[in-house]
Amino acid sequence: MIEEDLLLSTIDTREPSLCPLGIKRLDDLLGGGVPCGSTILVEGPPGSGKTSFAAKFIYEGARRGEKGVYVSFVEGKYSFYSFMKSLGMDFYDLERKGLVTFIEAIPLHNEEAARLIIERVLMMALEEGVKRVVIDSVTVLIQTFGLEKARELLTTTLLRELKRAGVTTLLISEKPRSYTESEVSVEEYIADTVIELNYRLEYGKIVRYMRILKVRGVSIPLSEITFTLRKDVVIDLAVPIVPHEIPAIDTSTIYKTDIGEIDKLLTGIPRGSQTLIITEPGINSLDLLLVPLIPLVARYGGPAIIRSYVRAPEEIKRVITQTARRLGLNIEQILDEIVISAINPVSQSLHEIAAENARIDSTVKPRFVAIHSLNTLLELYPNINVYLGSHLNNVLLRRKHGITGFYTFSANPKIKDIPGIDIYDIVALVRTTKNEEEYEIEVLRHPLYAFPKRTIVKRGLFKPKGV
């Protein structure tokens, strides 16, 4: 009885406090982070982002004033520090402030060396208040000492003591790029949270993804989340936006272009609405995109983003200048309000393009966004699921932030099954008429009226004089 009472009295019934990993959206999915004092395993093949992930974990701790130790058996301090600097994390500075200690042991000679390191880490946890520890990697321990010994070093000494001291520990484990699900490693048993980082190739482009394989007490609805490695954010997860975050169309703010024909046809463009302009091949879709955009920027101000997947920035600038001049608007003032962003879709995967779009939107915080030639993305990477998955999230985020979007998609207008047509609020179809001097514009969808509207406009409206 007495023994049982003693036992009960030592059980801590308080909810453990949470320790954010510093990886945006992953912490949200985990309900705020991992329990402080728990063990996280990050596994994956070389180049999958494990070191970057672990470094962000230490960096986040330091940002919160928690001391961290990074133990590396694979990489020297200076190569690590300079790699992290390229990701926007200044470890030199953290080391100077006494917040980070980097311990390197390459190669790890013998068990004695390993024990000394473990002792040093434990001392730092007990005496210097270290709160976060990374071991990069347990694979090296296993390769050097064999499974049994490595396990003993890790579980019976290091992890047990660190847990007792309330230190959150992140273990890194190397895994082949593909392995069978049935092979559960020892490391996976000893960890409270298991995260796999990996990548695959899609149309020759690298697509990184994360899988949350094990987590205690939280149900994770997403099994696989794509991410990109980028400066400052480090691990940039593409977690889909949840529907309840998206507000209804704001019909209290209606933008007008001040161009009679367009305003008559469209009635107005609600703030935060997304407009798809489908153009017949051969039509200059950049002109068609700029004609509503430039007068809107002149009237309501920016900032605005213009992105083309096919035209160079200089050319876009030239067309902006021509359009503004023709409409009698102040060119300098308009150029000041517009960010021209060019992404060469040949050099990146659809996931990276979507992440880049989201990043530019969140830094520029534009009032208007105009995207030229969506069809190019699909022509390059003809996977409708991936195209829609990445593009839809960009579109929904814009609606959420009240950013009014315009997109062109060049297609044969007889084919009305443009991928993802349902995600837009306004859909307009532009054809040339038999009369070469005119465009026929048909609005197929609009939140402010029910029926398709059609109009014929002089092509000259969209064409710079003398061209």
Name the site residues for Mg ion (rule: CB under 5 A).
51
Q: Given the complex with ligand ADP, which of 86 and 363 has the nearer CB atom?
A: 86
H-run or E-run covering 142: helix 138-145
Find residue 443's DSSP bridge partners: 428, 453
Nearest approach in angstroms of CB 74 to Mg ion is: 6
Q: Which is nearer to ligand ADP, 160 or 231 (CB)?
A: 231
Are residues 57 and 136 in contact, defined by beta-carbon separation less than 8 angstroms?
Answer: no
Cβ 41 to Mg ion shortest distance, Å: 14
Which stretch of DSSP H or E encloses residue 210? Answer: strand 205-214
For ligand ADP, give the closer residue by CB, 327 or 343.
Answer: 343
Shortest spacing between CB 74 and ligand ADP, in angstroms? 8
Cβ distance to ligand ADP smaller for residue 89 or 94: 89
With residues binned 3-state (H G I as helix, E B as strand, rest as coil), the percentages for the chain, rounded to 5, are 40, 25, 35
Q: How many residues bind ligand ADP (CB under 6 A)?
A: 14
CA-wise closest residue to 138 among 119, 127, 151, 126: 151
Q: Residue 84 or residue 289: which is nearer to Mg ion going by CB?
A: 84
Q: Which one among 86, 180, 219, 347 touches ligand ADP, defined by CB under 6 A?
A: 86
Query: Closest separation between CB of residue 134 and Mg ion, Å?
Result: 10
Residues 259 and 331 sit within 8 Å (Cβ to Cβ)? no
Torsion of CA 45, 394, 373, 317, to 10 degrees: -100
Helices within 147-284 (DSSP H only): 147-151, 160-164, 186-190, 260-266
Nearer to Mg ion, 42 or 319 (CB): 42
Structure tokens of 426?
A: 């306004």
What does the chain come to in residues? 467
Minimum distance between the CB of residue 49 and Mg ion, rounded to whole angstroms? Answer: 8
Q: Is 326 in the site for ligand ADP (CB under 6 A)?
A: no
Question: At closest approach, how far in Å is the CB of 101 from Mg ion?
Answer: 18
The partner in contact with residue 285, picked from Mg ion, ligand ADP, none with C-beta cut-offs of 5 to 8 angstroms by kind, is none
| Residues whose CB falls within 8 Å of the CB of residue 95, separated by 6 or more in sequence, listed in order | 101, 102
Confirm or reject binding of residue 72 to ligand ADP (CB under 6 A): no
Cβ atoms 426, 275 nearer than 8 A: yes
Interface with ligand ADP, residue 286, by CB under 6 A:
no
Give the Cα separation of 388 and 395 in Å (integer).
10
Using CB under 6 A, which residues numbered 194 to 233 contact ligand ADP? 229-231
Q: Which one of 32, 47, 240, 389 is in contact with ligand ADP (CB under 6 A)?
A: 47
> Token pair of 301, please?
């101000």
Query: Given candidates 38, 39, 52, 322, which one binds ligand ADP under the rule CB under 6 A?
Result: 52
Does residue 151 belong to the site contacting ligand ADP (CB under 6 A)?
no
Binding at 52: pick from Mg ion, ligand ADP, none (beta carbon under 5-8 Å per type): ligand ADP
User: Min. distance of Cβ 117 from ligand ADP in angstroms?
Assistant: 19
Q: Which stretch binds ligand ADP (CB under 6 A): 50-58, 186-194, 366-374, 391-399?
A: 50-58
388 residue type, one letter: L
Contact partner, 138, from Mg ion, ligand ADP, none, Cβ < 5-8 Å per class: none
Alpha-carbon separation of residue 135 from 122, 141, 215, 396 (angstroms): 13, 10, 20, 39
Interacting partner of 86 out of Mg ion, ligand ADP, none (Cβ under 5 to 8 A depending on kind)? ligand ADP
Which of 19, 23, 35, 50 is close enough to bind ligand ADP by CB under 6 A? Answer: 50
48 or 274: CB nearest ligand ADP: 48
Residues near 387 by beta carbon (within 8 Å), at least 6 away in sequence: 350, 377, 378, 381, 419, 420
Distances (CA, A) of 267 to 258, 342, 378, 446: 11, 31, 31, 9
35 binds ligand ADP (CB under 6 A): no
Q: Pick one of Mg ion, ligand ADP, none as the site partner of residue 144 (Cβ within 5 to 8 A by kind).
A: none
Supply the minimum distance, in Å, between the C-beta of residue 332 and ligand ADP: 35
> Contacting ligand ADP (CB under 6 A), which of 16, 46, 76, 281?
46
Distance, in Å, from the CA atom of 229 to the CA atom of 148, rounded to the nearest integer, reads: 35
Residue 315 corresponds to which amino acid? E
Least separation in angstroms between CB 235 and ligand ADP: 9
* Minimum distance of ligand ADP from residue 46's CB (angstroms): 4
Contacts 24+ apart (CB under 8 A), 341-347: 341/305, 341/306, 341/307, 341/313, 342/307, 342/308, 342/311, 342/312, 342/313, 342/316, 343/307, 343/309, 344/309, 345/309, 345/376, 345/377, 345/380, 345/381, 346/380
Q: Which is nearer to Mg ion, 107 or 247 (CB)?
A: 107
Measure the CA–CA gap between 267 and 290, rounded to whole angstroms: 18
In the complex, what is the shortest distance from the CB of residue 90 to ligand ADP, in angstroms, rounded to a whole number? Answer: 14
- Residue numbers at the binding site for ligand ADP (CB under 6 A): 44, 46-52, 83, 86-87, 229-231
